[in-house]
C-alpha cells in the first residue's frame, strides 16, 4: 500500500463511496490503493453484487449493502458519489446536512491524475467524439487514454498515466454535479437538447450542469463550442478560456469547419485543408459535427494534418452507436442502443435513405414523444415497441403501424418478418434501458446477438 499523497487536497483519510456501479467501484479501488479508509453503500442486496462485493472486501472496503442508511456517513471525512446517485439520496442529504464535502467520481479522480485531461460533454455525440478524438491523438503519435462515461471510469486510469499522457474523458451532466477543481486543458460542449428531465427540474438546470465543464478553465486552456447548436453557443457566457468553434456549414475563425466541401482546420484565421467532408468514416450529418469537434480539440497540439486526415477517414464504428450488425435476407440490422433520448433517435432516423423498422421504447425520461411524431411518420414503416414507454410512443405516433413486443428478441424477429430486402431494422430506443436491462450496452449486445442468430437460422 502506498502512502497518502500530501498534494491531493482531499479533506481527510476516510471516505464514504455511495453507489457501487463501475465508477463507484473504481473510486473505492483508487482510494484503497492510496491508503484511504473506505466504506461503500449501495441499495442493491448482496446477491446482486456478489462477485464485486467479494473483490471490494478483499481490497479492504467496508460494505453496507441493501441500504442507503444516512448513518453511513458517521466517522467519514468526505463522500464520493457515483454519477447515478442523485442529491435526494438519504446518505447525500445527511452528508450535506453534516457539512461533509461531497465529491463526484471525476473530481476524486482528477486529484490523482498527473497529466493533462480533455473533456467532452453534450446531450449527444459524446462517446463518438471522445473516442474519435483519442483515435486522432494516438494516430498522430501522442500517448492517449480514453475514459469517463465512455465505459472505463476515470478513477480506474487516473493514477496509472504519466505527465505526458493525454487522457480523453467523456463527461455527463451527472458527473459534473459535484466538481470543485476539475479543469480539463481542452473542453467541448457539443450540443444541448432535452434529456434527463426526470432528474433536472428544467432545461436551465440541465444546461447549467453541462456548462460546469468550463468552470475552472483559464487562459492556458481551450473551450470548444458548436456554432450550429444554440444550446452549445449559449454556454459562451460561462467560458473563461480562449475559444474555438466548429461548424459543419461555415468557415470559423479558430477551430474546424467546412469550406467548398472540404474540412479545414483554422488557426486564428489561417486555414489548413484536411480532407473532403464526404471521406470521413461515419455516416450522417451528426457525425460530421462529431468529426469537426474532435478535430477542433486537437488544436493545442499542432498535429500533422495528413495524420489527422487518416484518423478521420479510418475511424472504426463504435459499438451501440449506429453499429451495423449484419444483413439477413437483404435486411440491414443496426444497433443504436446508446440513443437514449429523442434528439439522438432523430439523428439516427435521418442517417438512412431506406425504409426503417424502428425498435423503440424502454424507461421514459420525461420526453415529449409528440415532438418526433412527424419524423417517425415520414421515415418509419413499422414501430416495434418495447418496455414501459411503449404505450406513450404508440399514442404519440398515430398512423404509424405499431406492434408491442414482449422482449427485444421478439422485436428483432418481428422486424425481419416485416422488412423487405433493402430495409433496415434499427434499434434506436429514445429511452433509458433500466426497465429491462442492466444498461444500454447489455441492450445493444442482446440486439446484436438476436440479429446474428437470425442470420444463422
**Tens of pLDDT, residues 119-137:** 999 988 899 999 999 999 9
pLDDT at residue 140 greater than cutoff 60: yes
pLDDT tens, position by position, 218-251: 999 999 999 999 999 999 999 999 999 999 998 9
* Architecture in CATH of 323-456: Alpha-Beta Complex (3.90)
Q: Enumerate the domain spans of the chain.
A: 14-100, 110-313, 323-456
* pLDDT averaged over every residue in the chain: 93
As a whole number of angstroms, the distance between CA 426 and CA 20 comes to 32
CATH no. of 110-313: 3.40.1190.10
Question: Which residues lie closer than 8 Å to 88 by C-beta, 6 or more apart?
Answer: none
Which pLDDT band holds residue 457 (cuts at 50, 70, 90)? low
Given this model, what pLDDT does residue 353 score? 84
Task: For domain 14-100, give the CATH superfamily.
Answer: NAD(P)-binding Rossmann-like Domain (3.40.50.720)
Mean pLDDT of 57-85: 94
Which pLDDT band holds residue 317 (cuts at 50, 70, 90)? confident
pLDDT tens, position by position, 194-220: 776 677 778 888 889 899 999 999 999
Given this model, what pLDDT does residue 389 score? 96
Q: For the chain, what percent of residues have pLDDT higher than 70? A: 98
Mean pLDDT of 441-445: 95
pLDDT tens, position by position, 112-121: 999 999 999 9
Amino acid at each position: 500500500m502506498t502512502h497518502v499523497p500530501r498534494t491531493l487536497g482531499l479533506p481527510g483519510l476516510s471516505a464514504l463511496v455511495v453507489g457501487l456501479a463501475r465508477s463507484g467501484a473504481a473510486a473505492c479501488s483508487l482510494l484503497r490503493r492510496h491508503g484511504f479508509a473506505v466504506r461503500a453503500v449501495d441499495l442493491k442486496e448482496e446477491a446482486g453484487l456478489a462477485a464485486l462485493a467479494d473483490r471490494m472486501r478483499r481490497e479492504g472496503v467496508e460494505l453496507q449493502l441493501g441500504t442507503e442508511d444516512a448513518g453511513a456517513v458517521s466517522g467519514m471525512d468526505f463522500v464520493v458519489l457515483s454519477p447515478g446517485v442523485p442529491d435526494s439520496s438519504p446518505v447525500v442529504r445527511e452528508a450535506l446536512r453534516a457539512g461533509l464535502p461531497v465529491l463526484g467520481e471525476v473530481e476524486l479522480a482528477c486529484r490523482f491524475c498527473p497529466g493533462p485531461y480533455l473533456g467532452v460533454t453534450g446531450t449527444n455525440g459524446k462517446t463518438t467524439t471522445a473516442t474519435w478524438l483519442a483515435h486522432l491523438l494516438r494516430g498522430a503519435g501522442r500517448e492517449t487514454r480514453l475514459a469517463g462515461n465512455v465505459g472505463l471510469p476515470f478513477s480506474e486510469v487516473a493514477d496509472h498515466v504519466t505527465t505526458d499522457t493525454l487522457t480523453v474523458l467523456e463527461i455527463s451532466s451527472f458527473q459534473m454535479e459535484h466538481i470543485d477543481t476539475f479543469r480539463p486543458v481542452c473542453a467541448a460542449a457539443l450540443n444541448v437538447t432535452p434529456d434527463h428531465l426526470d432528474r433536472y427540474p428544467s432545461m436551465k438546470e440541465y444546461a447549467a450542469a453541462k456548462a460546469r465543464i468550463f468552470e475552472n478553465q483559464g487562459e492556458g486552456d481551450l473551450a470548444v463550442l458548436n456554432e450550429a447548436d444554440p444550446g452549445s453557443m449559449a454556454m459562451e457566457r460561462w467560458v473563461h478560456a480562449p475559444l474555438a468553434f466548429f461548424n459543419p456549414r461555415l468557415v470559423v475563425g479558430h477551430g474546424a469547419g467546412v469550406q467548398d466541401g472540404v474540412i479545414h482546420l483554422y488557426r486564428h484565421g489561417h486555414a489548413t485543408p484536411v480532407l473532403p467532408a464526404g471521406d470521413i468514416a461515419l455516416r450522417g450529418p451528426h457525425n460530421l459535427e462529431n468529426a469537426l469537434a474532435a478535430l477542433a480539440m486537437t488544436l493545442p497540439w499542432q498535429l500533422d494534418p495528413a495524420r489527422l486526415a487518416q484518423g478521420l477517414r479510418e475511424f472504426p464504428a463504435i459499438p451501440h452507436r449506429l453499429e451495423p450488425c449484419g444483413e439477413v435476407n437483404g435486411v440491414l440490422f443496426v444497433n443504436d442502443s446508446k440513443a437514449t433520448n429523442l434528439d439522438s433517435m432523430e439523428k439516427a432516423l435521418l442517417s438512412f435513405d431506406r425504409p426503417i423498422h424502428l425498435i423503440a421504447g424502454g424507461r421514459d425520461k420525461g420526453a415529449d414523444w409528440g415532438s418526433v411524431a412527424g419524423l417517425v411518420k415520414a421515415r418509419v414503416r413499422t414501430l416495434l415497441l418495447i418496455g414501459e414507454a411503449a404505450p406513450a410512443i404508440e399514442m404519440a405516433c398515430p398512423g404509424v403501424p405499431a406492434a408491442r413486443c414482449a422482449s427485444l428478441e421478439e422485436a428483432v424477429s418481428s422486424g425481419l418478418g416485416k422488412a423487405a430486402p433493402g430495409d433496415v431494422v434499427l434499434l434506436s430506443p429514445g429511452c433509458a434501458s433500466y426497465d429491462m436491462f442492466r444498461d444500454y450496452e447489455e441492450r445493444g449486445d442482446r440486439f446484436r446477438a438476436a440479429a446474428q442468430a437470425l442470420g444463422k437460422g
